[in-house]
Structure 1
Amino acid sequence: MDTAALLSSSWIFILAFAAVLGDAFLPLIPSGTMVIMAVLKTADLDGAPVLLALGVATASFLGDLLLLRIARHGAPWVQARLDRRPQWAGATSKVQQALETRAARTVIVARFVPAGRTVLDLAMGASANPRRFKRWSALAALLWAAYIVTLGWLNSHWFDTAWLSLAVSCAAATGISASIARLVRRQRQATAA
């Protein structure tokens, strides 16, 4: 491993980790894009994608734990905020119901849906048993990190230019997230019918 090159690229790792940690609180942060940019910047360094994936998974899991802790301590305040936004309150209620019957699938799928992670963490703040959630959250963080780093790494090797690799990777990640969200919505509608 080229330690000097890795250290000179550490700023992009730190930026990616901060984006992933922060998007638990602010789902508008383009954390996937930041991770892909970090992959593209360091794809040729031996071991960098693995280190990046482990760091991203850790940042993702820590973001969940922090938001869960905030949601648990501020449950009345969070509930008052949710009550002002009926769409968020409805989504939180549906997530809580899904966690009762399909915890693993709900936690893992939420990681791949835009803002799903935030809604999930807020829903868990009102839950009586977060221990099971933590286990599935750690697995979901690992799966998402492996997915987004692999997507960036593959595209960095398929295309000759960084901008094309970034564009294709971001388009693919957006398309996959939109498809998962659409499937979740269809399944929810089928269940309601």
Structure 2
Amino acid sequence: MTVFFWAMLILIGMVVADFFVPMLPSATLVTAAAGLVFGNPLLIGVLLVGAAVASWLGEFLGYRLFRSLRAGLASRGPRAVRGLITGTVAKLETLLQRTIIDHPYRTTMVARFLPAGRTALAWAAAGTAKPPYARMAALGGVLWAVYSVSLGLTIAWIAGPGLQSLVGSVVTMAAVGLFLGWVARRWQRTHPDLPEAAVLAIAAAPDAEPAAADDEARAA
């Protein structure tokens, strides 16, 4: 149990850090851990809850950081936003923000399983007006934890617990990541470019509203 306790602390730290460093293999770690605790319902439950809570914590902390960053950019004017968010990134961000506004929970369910999806989702949500992000992050964390743990248990059930399960988890998660990355790139190519004005307006929201009012007053 002592080994499992320290392993859980490392796993939680990896899942939280994965938000800020998306290349960290947190999903692979959770999947492999599930295979190693195969057959122990208590440890499986602890792993499931720990992964979900760590995912939510990382996303919520990142979201608050992004809100502060975007507020600082908006206070410096549209040029600061344009300098940071341009081209394809701006197009994808605008599409993501529109879907967050219209369908926040559906967007979470899709974005959470794309490569670096949780980071992109938080950044885009930070530029929209008061999204239900705490609930979005909770939904994403639970779905991701259930998926990762279930996949690890399935691999362990097929290959048996231990080293074979560990190798199977690594290979499977790598294959899933490559497939989802291909889907994301294909989706990106099928969407047309969006107007730059719309990109900047959404990228600066909601903090840019007072600045916009001042610009209108000066123009009048």
The two structures have a TM-score, normalised by structure 1, of 0.82
Map Cα deviations across residues 44-100 of structure 1 (whole Å, 9 max, x no partner): 333211211111000001111100110111213597597266444443223212212
Q: Which has the higher contact order (CA 8 A, sep 6+)?
A: 2
Deviation (angstroms), 1:28: 1.0
- Residue 104 of structure 1 is matched in structure 2 by 105
List gaps (5 residues or longer) in structure 1.
1-5
Aligned length, in residue pairs: 187
Counterpart code for 2:60: L
Q: Does 1:57 align with 2:58?
A: no
Are the counterparts in 2 of residues 18 and 59 from structure 1 also a CA contact under 8 Å? yes
Displacement of 1:184: 4.4
DSSP-derived class of the 1:9 partner: helix
Q: Does 1:19 align with 2:20?
A: no
| Structure 1 contact 36–148 (Cα < 8 Å) conserved | yes
Residue segments in structure 2 that go unaligned for 5+ positions in a row = 75-79, 194-220
Distance 1:178 1:96 in 2: 25
Q: Is the 8 A contact 1:19 1:31 kept in 2?
A: yes
Cα offsets for 1:109-164 (capped at 9, x unmatched): 1111111111111111222113x232122111101100101111121222146332
Query: Aligned residues: percent identity?
Result: 28
Q: Is this contact kept in 2: 1:40–1:152, CA < 8 A?
A: yes
Counterpart Cα distance in 2 of 1:102 and 1:176: 25
Distance 1:46 1:128 in 2: 42
Change (3 A) 1:47 1:54: same
RMSD between aligned alpha carbons?
A: 2.6
Q: Give the direction of change, closer, same or farther, for the CA distance of 1:89–1:96 in structure 2 (3 Å limit).
A: same
Kindly tell me: are residues 161 and 51 of structure 1, through their superposed partners in 2, closer, same or farther at Cα, counting changes over 3 Å? Answer: closer
* Structure 2 residue corresponding to 1:31, chosen from 10, 22, 26: 26
